[in-house]
Amino acid sequence: MVASLSILPLPSFAEGTAITPPLSDASSVRPRNVTVEAVRYAGSNALEVRLSGPYRGPDMDTFAYVPGLEFHNGTVEVDVAGSLLPNAPSGARGFIGVAFRINESDGSCEGLT
């Protein structure tokens, strides 16, 4: 699965102020069992997130996240696009979502699809 994403969180502590990670720099996010590369997608900067290593089942924690971002009561706007990799199994389906409250030590999180 390949996902390209852009993130626009609007935190309540700075109402009306957008925090936009630089989508031209993959070092702005931390990967977990994925690779992240800054790319151009549909004419815009984006971060391409790809599974690293072999697929190990549906409960494998695979995501990229913005470290140190404190967020409470606001709006999160995310543009995502996804496609299956050319070598994906015939019955494969993709999943793209947004994760919250990520525990860096074990990869657990809450999610929104």
- Whether 24 has a pLDDT exceeding 80, the answer reads yes
Among 4-13, 54-63, 89-98, which stretch is predicted with the lowest mean pLDDT?
Answer: 4-13
User: What pTM was estimated for this model as a whole?
Assistant: 0.70
Residue with tokens 């599974």: 51
For residue 56, the enclosing domain spans 2-112
Collapse the DSSP code of 81 into the 3-class scheme (helix H, G, I; strand E, B; otherwise coil) and give the result: strand
Q: Is residue 33 within 8 Å of residue 99, measured between CB atoms?
A: no
In angstroms, the CA 34 to CA 27 distance is 13
In angstroms, the CA 99 to CA 97 distance is 7
Instruction: Give the tens place of pLDDT for each residue, 4-17.
Output: 444 444 344 445 56
Collapse the DSSP code of 68 into the 3-class scheme (helix H, G, I; strand E, B; otherwise coil) and give the result: coil
Choice between 44 and 19, residue whose per-residue pLDDT is larger: 44
The number of domains in the chain is: 1
- Whether 31 has a pLDDT exceeding 50, the answer reads yes
